[in-house]
């Protein structure tokens, strides 16, 4: 049976009390902390860097999943590895040499992944599946939180799932953007197993209630698959 993972994005958390926020969301049932890094260059926003990752690392035992929306990417990868990242993903358009960047992440002791925007073709995966630990499908255009899910992403998730299955490798398939309790089942049915949710969780007073509602939807998908 598929193991499903909920990965709250701290981009939507209260930054004035970030340590408390990550502890609370893990206590509410989160499996992974998703960490969005934007550079005001590759995407039109500026968020957080390695020092913030280092600051929250002692507060949680779960993996920290760093999504780099920066260009170029190679210079900053070792900084996030030292800061406590477990998984580092980046956009193929932001790297001059994708294979080398994936290897750099792994050489620094982290799991590596590629991120695909709504209009980014999937062919980048064809020659690097042996270095991939995660594929992240963006179901919004990157750069801002709180956007609505783009349904076309479901087709892309299905393509990525087929490529993972054909590779025979243990690769996480993550989806990020507009994920809520009312659409998480559709993403899971398409093949995703890891779900990033920001405002859907941190925008509500009861984190556990939201995560429990998402898990209930995922249980329904697992039962249908069985």
- 34 annotated ligand binder: yes
- 167 annotated ligand binder: no
Phi, psi of 49 (to 5 degrees): -125, -165
Q: Whole-angstrom Cα distance, residue 198 to residue 221?
A: 22
- 95 annotated ligand binder: no
- 67 annotated ligand binder: yes
- 203 annotated ligand binder: no
- 177 annotated ligand binder: yes
- 109 annotated ligand binder: no
- 143 annotated ligand binder: yes
Contacts of 115 (CB under 8 A, 6+ apart): 67, 69, 89, 90, 91, 92, 136, 138, 142
Q: Which of 14, 36, 39, 99 is catalytic?
A: 36
Structure tokens, 7: 């990965």
User: Is there a catalytic annotation at residue 79?
Assistant: no
- Tokens 């926003």 — which residue? 45
- 191 annotated ligand binder: no
Q: Whole-angstrom Cα distance, residue 209 to residue 225?
A: 25
- 19 annotated ligand binder: no
User: Is there a catalytic annotation at residue 65?
Assistant: no
The dihedral through the CA atoms of 178, 182, 183, 185 has a sign that is positive
Q: Which of 39, 65, 133, 176 is catalytic?
A: 176
- 29 annotated ligand binder: no
Annotated binding-site positions for substrate: 9, 67, 143-146, 176-178, 198-199
Annotated binding-site positions for a divalent metal cation: 34, 36, 67, 176
Annotated binding-site positions: 9, 34, 36, 67, 143-146, 176-178, 198-199
Among all residues, which ones are annotated catalytic? Answer: 36, 176
């Amino acid at each position: 049976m598929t193991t499903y993972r909920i990965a709250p994005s701290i981009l939507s958390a209260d930054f004035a009390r970030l340590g408390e926020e990550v502890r609370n969301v893990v206590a509410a049932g989160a499996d992974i902390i998703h960490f969005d890094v934007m550079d005001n260059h590759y995407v039109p926003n500026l968020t957080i860097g390695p020092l913030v990752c280092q600051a929250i690392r002692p507060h949680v035992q779960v993996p920290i999943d760093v999504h780099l929306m920066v260009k170029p990417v190679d210079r900053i990868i070792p900084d996030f590895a030292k800061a406590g990242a477990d998984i580092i993903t980046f956009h193929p358009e932001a790297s001059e040499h994708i294979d080398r960047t994936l290897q750099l992440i792994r050489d620094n002791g982290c799991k590596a992944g590629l991120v695909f925007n709504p209009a980014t073709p999937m062919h980048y995966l064809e020659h690097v599946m042996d270095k991939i630990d995660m594929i992240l499908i963006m179901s919004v255009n990157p750069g801002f939180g709180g956007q609505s899910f783009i349904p076309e992403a479901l087709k892309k998730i299905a393509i990525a799932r087929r490529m993972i299955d054909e590779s025979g490798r243990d690769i996480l398939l993550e989806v990020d953007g507009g994920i809520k309790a009312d659409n998480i089942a559709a993403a899971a049915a398409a093949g995703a197993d890891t779900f990033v949710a920001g405002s859907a969780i941190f925008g509500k007073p009861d984190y556990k209630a939201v995560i429990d509602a998402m898990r209930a939807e995922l249980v329904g998908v697992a039962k249908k698959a069985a």
